[in-house]
Amino acid sequence: MTYPTQPTASHFIDGQYVEDRSGTPIPVVYPATGEVIATVYAATPAIIDRALTAAGRAQKAWGQMTGTQRGRILRRAADILRDRNHDLSVLETMDTGKPLQETLVADATSAADALEYFGGLAGSLTGEHIQLGADFVYTKREPLGVCVGIGAWNYPTQIAAWKGAPALACGNAMVFKPSETTPLCALKVAEILHEAGLPAGLYNVIQGMGEVGAALVTDPRVDKVSLTGSVPTGRKVYAAAAAHIKHVTMELGGKSPILVFDDADIEDAVGGAILGNFYSSGQVCSNGTRVFVQKGIKEAFLKRLKERVETAILGDPLDEATNFGPMVSERQMNIVLGYIEAGKAEGARLVTGGTRVDRAGYFLAPTVFADVTDDMSIAREEIFGPVMSVLDFTDEADAIARANDTDFGLAAGVFTRDLTRAHRVVAAFEAGTCYINTYNLAPVEAPFGGSKMSGVGRENSKAAIEHYSQLKSVYVAMGKVEAPY
Ligand code: NDP
């Protein structure tokens, strides 16, 4: 199978594609057919060393450039990404199986937004002046040095840019390791950044499984690690980074709640629940997979939900009419099927879906369970697939307590027409990213990230600058030095 914009080698190091077939081969599978569309090779220790050496060397001069100069390159890369959106979206679809209808609007475009936003911000990164009588202190915002980005498989283009754009804007270099499941798209981000004028060595992509990520995280030349992944991986990466007191950003998993009150606009609430469960076939970290519905609206909500979910168009992801694609891999499909069986066995009521779809590839029908209780595994564990759990509630305070009764804290949403209640509920949510009468929007201007076990730090927005730079504080004395002896 051929497709446009195919990367030409496994790695991108020091401004060019690099191949080294001595590493473990990683087949790239198109999830809609199971066909192997490419093979990349895991980075050997020599490749890891080459990438880190290039990054360390290149960062020195990059950190000395003005923010405006750096930003201009990032904004140029954003324009190239937009110009090539169609081909890059096809590549993202081949890498992940997500429908082209989605990738055309949510992946290369989101990466372009990040490069444009942080490119625009780069020239305005300043410190402050603190007057102390005649003396004063000034602060400078300095780069951290070499940053490592480690990506999950659900948004390979977006994650590569969400980490790369603020890192580069702040004057850092990056070595990015994509998920072994979706290794192709980050290579194109690297290629386009360099085409836009990024000096060689500043954005490198190397492939590999967890061991390659672990080797990067433990290398003393690395100053910062940003991971998008599961909580168990986050725990390991955070601990490894702690050994050298490295900076970290952790974008981890979730089991987020959506509260739908009796007075909600039912079509909006159903639409929000659909966006929060079935976009990208449910493979979205912030998904609102526990949908708490107030008793008075429950049956009407379930009726409309079933009707609308059953109109989803499953099929060839490259056909723009398709709006529901396969799971990213056979492994992930089997994990989700296990949860569907657990839901049935634990006594949840299957409203729709619940099966594998009879066609090639790793397709599951969008699945809704009702009458789910808080103790069921489908209500407690992150499934990362198209499985929505609908739970009942009557009392607001009780619903909030149940919504918060989880170790995760990534996102949360509320649907109600009562403005006061909406703000009261989000104030009580223990989650980093909250929604009122919508769900799962992630514009680059807004901070994105989790509380509790769902993460540390924030991506996007001005807040990300804090996580890719450090302050130097300079005390300037204007008088004599008074010492006791
Ligand atoms: P994993 O945690 O399995 O993997 C994430 C990345 O970490 C992969 O690149 C993986 O490599 C790498 N990795 C694995 N072990 C180590 C290690 N010991 N040291 C360093 N790196 C390692 O997550 P998935 O790829 O399965 O992605 C799904 C998870 O990501 C879900 O929990 C989801 O919620 C979360 N996620 C969070 C987001 C957020 O912004 N909060 C956004 C998107 C997803 P490899 O897979 O190649 O072995």
- Give pLDDT tens digits along the chain (485 positions): 556 678 999 999 999 999 999 999 999 999 999 999 999 999 999 999 999 999 999 999 999 999 999 999 999 999 999 999 999 999 999 999 999 999 999 999 999 999 999 999 999 999 999 999 999 999 999 999 999 999 999 999 999 999 999 999 999 999 999 999 999 999 999 999 999 999 999 999 999 999 999 999 999 999 999 999 999 999 999 999 999 999 999 999 999 999 999 999 999 999 999 999 999 999 999 999 999 999 999 999 999 999 999 999 999 999 999 999 999 999 999 999 999 999 999 999 999 999 999 999 999 999 999 999 999 999 999 999 999 999 999 999 999 999 999 999 999 999 999 999 999 999 999 999 999 999 999 999 999 999 999 999 999 999 999 999 999 999 999 999 999 99
Residue 252: CB within 6 Å of ligand 1?
A: yes
d(C-alpha 67, C-alpha 75), whole Å: 12
Spacing, Cα 194 to ligand 1 middle (Å): 26
Q: Which candidate in 147, 170, 185, 285 is catalytic?
A: 285
251 is catalytic: yes
Predicted pLDDT at 393: 98
Spacing, Cα 457 to ligand 1 middle (Å): 16
Residue 164: CB within 6 Å of ligand 1?
A: no
d(C-alpha 232, C-alpha 359), whole Å: 33
Confidence (pTM): 0.96
Within its chain, how far is the Cα of 28 from the centroid? 20
244 phi, psi to nearest 5 deg? -110, 15
Within its chain, how far is the Cα of 38 from the centroid? 24
170 is catalytic: no
Burial 343-354 (b: 16+ CB within 10 A, else e): beeeebeebbbb
Predicted pLDDT at 3: 66
Q: Residue 90 carries which side chain, given as an amino acid letter?
A: V
Which protein residue has the closest C-alpha to ligand 1 atom 12? 210
Predicted pLDDT at 347: 97
Q: How far apart are the first and last CA of the chain?
A: 80
The first and second tokens of residue 402, run together, are: 């149940």
d(C-alpha 180, C-alpha 78), whole Å: 25
Look up residue 134 and give its DSSP letter: T
Predicted pLDDT at 2: 57
The β-bridge relationship of strands 290-294 and 257-260 is parallel
d(C-alpha 177, C-alpha 160), whole Å: 9
Predicted pLDDT at 6: 83
Spacing, Cα 178 to ligand 1 middle (Å): 9
Residue 210: CB within 6 Å of ligand 1?
A: yes
Task: Using the atom order of ligand 1, give the atom closest to the CA of residue 208.
Answer: 47
Task: Using the atom order of ligand 1, give the atom closest to the CA of residue 410.
Answer: 41
* In contact, 176 and 151? CB cutoff 8 Å: yes
> Which of 24, 228, 456, when mutated, tests ligand 1's pocket best, judged by the most ligand atoms within 8 Å of its CB?
228
Closest listed residue to residue 51, CA positions, set 212, 264, 257, 281: 212
